[in-house]
Amino acid sequence: MNFSLSPEEETFRQEVRDFLAAELPPPEERDAGFMAEWWKKIRAKRWVGFSWPEEVGGGGGTLMQQFILKDLLVRARAPMLGSDYTGLHWVGPAIIQFGTPEQKARYIPEILDGQSIWCTGYSEPDVGSDLAALQCRAVRKGDTYVVNGQKIWTSLAHFAKSIFLMVRSNPGASKHDGISCLLVPMDTPGIEIQRVHNMGAGGYGDMLNQVFFNDVEVPAELRLGEEGQGWEIICSALQSERSGITEVNRHATSLEDLIGLAARSERNGRPALEDASVRARLGSFETRIEAMRLNGMRALTNQLRGNLHPSEASINKLHNCDLLVEMSDLALELQGSAASYYGKQDVVIDAGRWQMAALSWPATVIGGGTPNVQKNIIAERMLGLPKD
């Protein structure tokens, strides 16, 4: 791995630093109107969709410039780039790669300008983590697909304007070859949404739904890619979702906050930060975050050299999940009985962020593939171990 930057990359890094120094106030000084102005400014700089081609409205930035940009933004605790996370991280890239000119003209500007809200129709009841076994059916009738079936754990479906929907369009083909992708407006007749309330409600967990499709008619022009190309699109989208480098810096900033919490907390009448077991756990977190960073840099180096290894992302996905759970658990232990004050804003510590993370872990741990799925990917595709 080569950690040095070219003169052009150094210039870009300084540009980002100068912008953040001038335009990003501390979190406590960001008022209600800050986000709208922030998104307007970064959109004007084409930092939303920064690595996307200029011809579709992106910034045309290089992979290394994108890494520099995201790295500095997370370190500065800046808001995310753009408002539609799903649209920016996997739907937009998939449309750019597989979409028709008409689909790009229709959807990409909305995603870049924050006018879209996408959700993802992958998981189904009784399918579990075997995504290729999905059964939501789309039957072609002339220039229309008629969709029947159900999706579950669909994040943000109750807000979304469109769904990135995977359907079985050819039940006679192998399970990987019979899947197609449809771009479906959520106001299409026949779509019913039911909320899935869970223990994380009020935090990240309060965004899950099940979606029913009852004779939903979708124009064939809204199919993304060729019929039967859905599995290739799924793999491309999940790879975009799991790049992993941004999560490293998020964990690093969370660790800083956790150390601060330990410094303010007591254990057996002494500062918790002086407790050997607490320090050992914090040290373990730091070591694992650094391992994630180096693995992410290795993946970035391979991408820069044109040697893409999609399975590498599963390593950081595993670390990401474990760290989320273990860091949240330690934070609640440090708070002691005060950890039960979640929701009581006059006494809750750190605005309840640690309780929210502890209760909402299933969305991160299960979403995008369970830990067992990631372990199988690592074992079979990276280590070459047999399936049996």
pLDDT tens for each residue of 100-147: 999 999 999 999 999 999 999 999 998 867 888 999 999 999 999 999
Distance (Å, rounded) from C-alpha 381 to C-alpha 388? 14
More confident residue, 297 or 149: 149
88 touches 82 (CB < 8 A): yes
DSSP letter for 185, please.
E
CATH number, residue 13: 1.10.540.10
345 part of a folded domain: yes
Instruction: Give the global pTM.
Output: 0.84
39 touches 48 (CB < 8 A): yes
34 and 145 co-located in one domain = no
CATH number, residue 213: 2.40.110.10
Q: Could you count the other beta carbons within 10 Å of the beta carbon of residue 300?
A: 18
88 part of a folded domain: no
Q: Could you count the other beta carbons within 10 Å of the beta carbon of residue 182?
A: 24
pLDDT at 46 over 90: yes
pLDDT tens for each residue of 308-367: 666 777 888 888 888 988 999 999 999 988 777 665 555 678 878 888 888 877 777 777
376 and 270 co-located in one domain = yes
251 and 363 co-located in one domain = yes
106 touches 131 (CB < 8 A): no
169 and 51 co-located in one domain = no
24 part of a folded domain: yes
CATH number, residue 326: 1.20.140.10
Residue 25 β-bridge partners:
none
Domain count, the chain: 3
258 part of a folded domain: yes
95 part of a folded domain: no
249 and 211 co-located in one domain = no
35 and 58 co-located in one domain = yes
Q: How far is CA 102 from the centre of its chain?
A: 26
Lowest mean pLDDT among 103-107, 160-164, 224-228, 292-296: 292-296
Domain end residue (candidates: 228, 260, 294): 228
276 part of a folded domain: yes
285 and 312 co-located in one domain = yes
Distance (Å, rounded) from C-alpha 148 to C-alpha 387? 33
Half-sphere exposure of residue 331, counting CA atoms within 13 Å on the CB side? 28
Q: Which domain holds residue 142?
A: 118-228
DSSP sequence for 88-120: IIIIHHHHHHH--HHHHHHHHHHHHTT---EEE
196 and 263 co-located in one domain = no
94 touches 233 (CB < 8 A): yes
Domain end residue (candidates: 54, 82, 110): 82
173 and 301 co-located in one domain = no
Q: Could you count the other beta carbons within 10 Å of the beta carbon of residue 341?
A: 15
